[in-house]
A and B are shown apart, each in its own frame.
Chain A
Amino acid sequence: MQAKYLKKIIYHLIVGCFAILLLYPVIWLIMSSFKSSEKIFATAESLIPQPFILGNYAQGWAGFGDYGFDTYILNTFIFVILVLIGHLISCSLIAFGFARLKFAGRSFWFAIMILTLMLPYEVVMIPQYIIFAQLDWLNSLKPLVVPAYFGHPFFIFLLVQFIRTIPRELDEAAIIDGCNTFGIYRRIILPLIVPALATTSIFTFYWTWDNLLGPVLYLNSPSKYTVSMALNMFLSNETVSNWGAMFAMSVVSLIPVFIIFFIFQRYVVDGISTSGLKG
Chain B
Amino acid sequence: MQTHMKQNLWGYLFIGPFIIGFLAFTIIPIIASFYFSFTSYDLFNSPEWIGLDNFKEMFTSDPRYLHSLKITFIYVFAGVPLRLLFALVVAMLLNTASRAVGLYRTLYYLPSLIGGSVAVAIMWRQIFGDDGIVNLALMTMGIDPVRWFGNPTAALWMLIFLSVWQFGSSMLIFLAGLKSIPQSYYEAASVDGASFFQKFFNITIPMLSPVILFNAVMQTIAAFMTFVPAYIISKGTGGPLDGTLLYSLYLFKQGFEFFHMGYASAMAWVMLVIIGILTSLIFFSSKYWVHYESEGGR
Do A and B originate from a single complex?
A: yes
A210 near B117 (CB under 8 angstroms)? Answer: yes
A261 to B107, CA, bound (A): 12
- Min CB–CB distance B172 → chain A (angstroms): 5
Q: Which of B8, B94, B107, B265 contacts A104 (CB 8 A)?
A: B8
**B231 — nearest CB in chain A belongs to which residue?**
A212
Q: Which of B13-21, B150-158, B182-190, B193-201 contacts A (4 or more CB under 8 A)?
A: B13-21
A106 near B11 (CB under 8 angstroms)? Answer: yes
A120 near B232 (CB under 8 angstroms)? Answer: no
A277 to B109, CA, bound (A): 13
What total of A-B pairs shows CB separation below 8 Å?
253
Q: Mark interface residues in B108-121 (1 if CB within 8 Å of A CB, else 0).
A: 11111110111110
Give the contacts of B118-173 with A (CB-CB under 8 A).
118-120, 122-127, 129, 131-133, 136, 165, 168-169, 172-173
Q: Does A22 contact B (CB under 8 A)?
A: yes
Give the contacts of A26-70 with B (CB-CB under 8 A).
26, 28-29, 41, 44-45
Interface of B is mostly: helix
Q: Which of A77-85, A148-156, A167-175, A190-198 contacts B (4 or more CB under 8 A)?
A: A148-156
**B117 — nearest CB in chain A belongs to which residue?**
A210
**B15 — nearest CB in chain A belongs to which residue?**
A97
Q: Does A128 contact B (CB under 8 A)?
A: yes
Give the contacts of A76-119 with B (CB-CB under 8 A).
90, 93-94, 96-98, 101-104, 106, 109, 112-113, 116, 118-119
A250 near B111 (CB under 8 angstroms)? Answer: no
Return 28 A-B CB contacts under 8 Å, by A number: A94-B18, A98-B15, A104-B11, A118-B275, A122-B267, A122-B268, A123-B29, A123-B271, A123-B272, A127-B28, A130-B43, A131-B32, A185-B14, A210-B117, A227-B118, A231-B119, A235-B232, A247-B126, A251-B119, A257-B113, A261-B110, A261-B113, A272-B169, A276-B173, A278-B112, A278-B222, A279-B113, A279-B169
A235 near B235 (CB under 8 angstroms)? Answer: yes
The bracket for how many chain A residues form the interface is 35 or more
Write out the residue numbers on chain B whose beta carbons fall within 8 Å of the beta carbon of A123: 29-30, 33, 268-269, 271-272
Q: Does A3 contact B (CB under 8 A)?
A: no
A111 to B174, CA, bound (A): 26
Q: Does A19 contact B (CB under 8 A)?
A: yes
Q: Does B255 contact A (CB under 8 A)?
A: yes
**B227 — nearest CB in chain A belongs to which residue?**
A213
Q: Which of B28, B125, B172, B261 contacts A126 (CB 8 A)?
A: B261
Q: Mark interface residues in B266-298 (1 if CB within 8 Å of A CB, else 0).
A: 011101100100010000000000000000000
Write out the residue numbers on chain A whose beta carbons fall within 8 Å of the beta carbon of B52: none
Q: Which of A227, A246, A265 contacts B106 (CB 8 A)?
A: A265
Write out the residue numbers on chain B whose beta carbons fall within 8 Å of the beta carbon of A122: 225, 248, 251, 267-268, 271
**A181 — nearest CB in chain B belongs to which residue?**
B10
- Min CB–CB distance A262 → chain B (angstroms): 8
Write out the residue numbers on chain A whose beta carbons fall within 8 Å of the beta carbon of B231: 212, 216, 232
Q: Does A263 contact B (CB under 8 A)?
A: no
> Which A-B residue pairs are the 9 nearest by beta carbons?
A150-B21, A103-B11, A97-B14, A273-B176, A127-B29, A250-B119, A127-B32, A124-B29, A97-B15
